[in-house]
Amino acid sequence: MPNTPHLVVALAYDGLCTFEFGVAVEVFGLPRPELGPDWYRFAVAALDPGPLRAMGGVRLLADGGLELLEAAGTIVIPGWRGAREPVPDILTEALRRAHARGARILSICSGAFVLAASGLLNGRRATTHWCYAETLGDLYPAIRVAPDVLYVDEGNILTSAGSAAGIDLCLHLVRRDFGPEAANSVARRLVVQPHREGGQAQFIETPVPTAREGARLGPLLDHLRERLEEEHTLASMAERAGMSLRTFLRRFNALTGRTPGEWLLAERLARARTLLESGETAVEEVATRAGFGSAATLRHHFRQRLGISPATYRARFRRSV
């Protein structure tokens, strides 16, 4: 990050999506003195004149108009009025100018339709809420729509799925800019999971788990997170949970939406990413501490899940000190 705090500008418009806008404010707009003086500056740019109507009966006064986009390092598009609602030329032109000078632009949920109308998603992978994904592909066939992921990072153009996935994408940007410790700090304030992979499915066709399942499996999950470097078999996990193997597998999936193996892999990848981002630990040691056993296994899973090697990931995401 530069010495001058990075300016994040959120777009506001008549008919504003309140939750998505609130995500941008919560992550980028609140003062966070515990994270140092270089934390983001934040402003709101209005597309329309006068007090803006937001969903839920809220009225909003912005800091300025679209001229604020000219100074933004990052622009957030928090949803849009509708998948087929026209996007004014004045907005698409402002976004194209911002992109041409190097600004990052991210969309939350239906905000992808604003980026699509600007042409900035042509030839790129992008996502939106799963219920809009087919429409996005039909209206803009030049976009490679990824309908079943939480977010897509294409460098300076980023898109997220449904409303809450915007939190994941914003935290992802914090990780890019300030490192995992800062992202974890913000996540703790939000009381959300500090990191979900962008490729994770948008929704899981499982019932909400009962409180009893959470109470029984919660201590097991804590135990596994504390000992990711150890070997864990299905039998040993079921025994610790005090369940038969069949019951354990059924209840684990109901609680997490994943098999135990998938859950462990995601946790180990998250541990490895944190180690790579925050230090000079050798890749072999990262593999051991994250539970992969060998650097070759770590490289295999990084390439399979993230499309890059651990060394490339470190070079791209390690925070400068």
Residues forming the active site = 109
Taking Cα atoms as reference points, which of 151, 178, 154, 184 lies closest to residue 8? 178
Longest dimension (CA), the chain: 63
Residue 3 phi/psi, 5-degree rounding, is: -65, -40
d(CA 240, CA 242): 5
Site of tokens 């791209």: 316
- DSSP per-residue codes, 117-155: HHTTTTTSEE---HHHHHHHHHH-TTSEE-TT-SEEE-S
Q: What is the rounded CA–CA span in Å between residue 184 and residue 290?
A: 18
251 contacts 213 by C-beta, under 8 angstroms: yes
